[in-house]
A and B are shown apart, each in its own frame.
Chain A
Amino acid sequence: EDQVTQSPEALRLQEGESSSLNCSYTVSGLRGLFWYRQDPGKGPEFLFTLYSAGEEKEKERLKATLTKKESFLHITAPKPEDSATYLCAVQAGPNSGYALNFGKGTSLLVTP
């Protein structure tokens, strides 16, 4: 069965204190790994898609990386506005339909 596990569940950082969020996955044939950001009371907002091990993508203070077993979301010099829940999701191989399988998320709080 496909599984997505995110750690830590919650993370508190001081402004400027860099860190990484982890997403471990087991899936039968990875079609894509996705990172989304979710603010309270809102729907998830797309950040990145990664397709193969070794791939990296960057956007402002965020950088996502992918290996065969896990993905990291690196946050460099975070600001309070980066506070949100970060969701990881995987889409399995061609016989697995169209569902994204989401982890439970990492709740990030960045304090001034």
Chain B
Amino acid sequence: NAGVMQNPRHLVRRRGQEARLRCSPMKGHSHVYWYRQLPEEGLKFMVYLQKENIIDESGMPKERFSAEFPKEGPSILRIQQVVRGDSAAYFCASSPNLGTNEKLFFGSGTQLSVL
């Protein structure tokens, strides 16, 4: 049973470009969470999604960031017009149960570098 798969592992973008980060949850999991880890900072919650629904986006920046989890395919975190401050490790996690956070399974992350 494959774990949470994130790709790419490393993504380099120039300022102003778009970044698309993908996350395939564990088989049987329909709840996806995105977290961001800035240098010297703890993991920060961004968004919680179920299939075709955004449940909690209280941690998402108001502009340039969006997330989706379509009926088919991976969850996508999209960052438009990236800036240097967006450079961070972005982690996706999945769980089988509704919002319990009992046991989140994390992917290995996508390291975004903005030049």
Interface residues in chain A, defined as those with a beta carbon under 8 Å from any beta carbon in chain B? 4, 31-32, 34, 36, 41-46, 49, 87, 89, 91, 97-105
Contact = CB atoms under 8 A, between A and B. Distances in A.
8 contacts: A41-B109, A42-B108, A49-B102, A49-B103, A89-B43, A100-B45, A100-B104, A102-B35
B101 A43 contact: no
Contact of A44 (B40, B55, B56, B106): B106
B61 interface: no
Contact of B58 (A34, A36, A45, A97): A97
Contacts of B59: 99
A41 B108 contact: yes
B56 A87 contact: no
Interface of B: 4, 33, 35, 40-45, 48, 55-56, 58-59, 91, 93, 99, 101-109
A13 to B, nearest CB: 22
B104 to A, nearest CB: 6
Given A98-B99, A99-B58, A43 B106 contact: yes
B41 A99 contact: no
B104 A46 contact: yes
